[in-house]
Amino acid sequence: MKRWLMLAALGGAAAASAQDSPEAAADLLWRALSHGPGQGADRAALEPLFLPAAQVYGLGRDGKSPLRVRSAAEFIAAQVQPDAQPFEEREVHREVRRYGRFAEVFATVESRTGDAAGPAEYTGINSLHLVEQDGRWRIVALYYALERPGQPLPADWRQRPR
């Protein structure tokens, strides 16, 4: 329980200062999506992290569903809904490519509900496309795809590069 309280306290106050690099923006995203039982994601941290025109694209586990496309506002509205279960996003791999004010963060993230120490319910890849504006990195697009049964992610996508 203390972990969830700590994550909540880090959310909104950290939003303004934690976007000074693409890596810090990714860290903030995972913290803001994580929440304790009976809570939802941190709206105050998520809203300034995404550009108003940002889009979120996603593929589910079945490999057959069409690409889901939502505006950042729709994505945030869904994430902030209270959930009886705690939720944690934990990054296990990251690659960053940067050119000037443009960056891509490619990350493997494990998602957990219930016991934060337990196994991940979902693992997936995320591609964040960011732009730097006025000293802050903001998400232009987020693309995620959940790992599919029978099609595991490559082993080197499950650990941080050295």
pLDDT in tens, 108-153: 999 999 777 788 999 999 999 999 998 999 999 999 999 998 899 9
Q: Output the domain CATH number for residue 124.
A: 3.10.450.50
Contact call for residues 111 and 120 (beta carbons, < 8 A): yes
- Into how many domains does the chain fold? 1
Task: Please indicate, yes or no, if residue 40 is contained in any of the structural domains.
Answer: yes
Task: Please indicate, yes or no, if residue 89 is contained in any of the structural domains.
Answer: yes
HSE-up of residue 41 (Cα within 13 Å, Cβ side): 20
Task: Please indicate, yes or no, if residue 162 is contained in any of the structural domains.
Answer: no
Task: Please indicate, yes or no, if residue 122 is contained in any of the structural domains.
Answer: yes
Range of the domain at 35: 2-157
Rounded to the nearest 10 degrees, how much is the dihedral formed by the CA atoms of 35, 26, 54, 77?
Answer: 0
Element (H, E) at 113: strand 102-113
Task: Please indicate, yes or no, if residue 41 is contained in any of the structural domains.
Answer: yes
pLDDT in tens, 56-105: 999 988 888 999 999 999 999 999 999 999 999 999 999 999 999 999 99
Q: State pTM to two decimals.
A: 0.85
Contact call for residues 85 and 38 (beta carbons, < 8 A): no
Task: Please indicate, yes or no, if residue 23 is contained in any of the structural domains.
Answer: yes
